[in-house]
Structure 1
Amino acid sequence: MYLSSMPYVHSDSVNIHFRTGTVRGPTVLLAHGFLMDESMFDPIRTILAHNDINVIAWDARGHGRTGYGREPRFDYWDLAEDGLRVLDAVGVERAVVGGMSQGGYAALRMALLAPERVAGLALLDTEAGACTRADETYYEEFFGEWCGAGELVPLAEKLAPQLIGGDRPDIWRWWITRWLTHDRATIHPAARCLIDRDSVLDRLGEITAPALVLRGEHDHSSTAEKCAQLATGLPGARGVRTVAGAGHGCALTHPEQVAAALIELVTACTPDLAAPVAVAGI
């Protein structure tokens, strides 16, 4: 039987919520996209568990069950440290590390901070660059509306097809419902992290682990050009893998294809991976 545990680990001044399974195989650590939480990987978790691969996913600061701690200002290097603390909590020395969109920003920084702990890198609908000025303007306006007092429903209904894509209105509606039940203003510090992120394009050559770069065919955020730049800069990447018919959230809408790519990556990295050890309280 596949079971899961949902504990917390302290990182800096923040209690980071994460979830792990009891599969005694190689580990994949996954970080979710903006306005999502660790549950976005549930379908992938189930598929990988049937292939004896353990999935750990955590809620980024300001998302899901993770708050901000004493200091609400943070960056993706802090999130990378959070991911490393999650690995510590479950007793995993090396793992395949990855993420979708902002989760990929954290995964790249984990590989730069602690390359000895990253056996492979799974980059899903993400990039390595900073926001352009046009991006900053768009985000400033968008989050001004999102965190404001106006009607949220039309904004959420417009966002879901863009953020998730894949012609899956059932999935769009599910996340819209989640967004409408949360305190909309609390996302502001996480939005600042997104807008103010630094570029790591000039450091990609330092990351030598095998790397999967995957994007949805219709992803208008992590474009084909941005992903090609990412794959070209990573010595361990072999081009860009494209999921037909998917958008920015292919991990949500096309979990079978994404899981298959992850299994291939884990298989390639298996000699460098081990099952997590038992840790008291988990």
Structure 2
Amino acid sequence: VGVAASAGILLGLPVLRLHGDYLAIVTLGFGEVIRVLANNLDKPINFTNGPKGITPISRPPIFFAPLLRALGIDPNPNVIYPLYLYFLVLAIVGVTILVNRRLEDSHIGRAWEAIREDQTAAQAMGVPLVRMKLMAFACGASFAGAVGVLFSAKQIFINPESFTFMESIGVLAMIILGGMGSIPGAILGATVVTVLNLQVLKGLSLWINELRNAGLTILGFNLANLPTQLEPAKYERMVFGLILVLMMIFRPQGFLPARRRHRELAGGGDG
């Protein structure tokens, strides 16, 4: 977590003068640059093992295994670990939500809101822009680092291709769908995008393939003649891009926006 926070600060230093859309574009670009860099840091000195990644990664120990044995329960890792990781993720999510709530109501959170609204006015009121911006980068990176550790432990393997540009776009789609600045919105957006990506698109592709293989004829058209390119899972980027465009046009505040953000957009629309 400390390393991730330090990396966030290093990333924040070159982009201190940027804000809004420009900041989002630059941070997305930095993410892709770091991925490509990590993919090639296996020579002349091997730092990341390149595309081969890092493996094996040890999983967190089941600290309550002795208690389970004392209760006469066999702590079979194949059974216990999925549940253990599930509740561990829930615990981290709970801590993250609690910390964010506390930050939101603190002077740090109010300073961040002031900078977001008008950083010139915030600076005039005595808000230290550089320190607050770097703190925001450090906090965001530390949360990502904590979850990244858990992700790598679950996979037992990690390489730069685990974090492609589409992963960043997916996270962006989650935030825009749910609503920026809203914790319930972030949860809703993450749920919708994950279900859409892992269930709906792939399920549609499997269903179309089954129809194609069955060779059914509907209204005189043989489904076996459906083009092989007709697989919704292949058009993930187009679907996410379309979702982002439609949301920005028809509901820029997201489905569950923060109360402050909702009032701002409603007031802007009335004006």
TM-score of Structure 1 vs Structure 2, range by shorter chain: under 0.3
Give the greater-gyration-radius structure (CA). 2
TM-score, with normalisation over the residues of structure 1? 0.25
TM-score under structure 2 length normalisation:
0.25
Higher normalized helix content (fraction of residues): 2
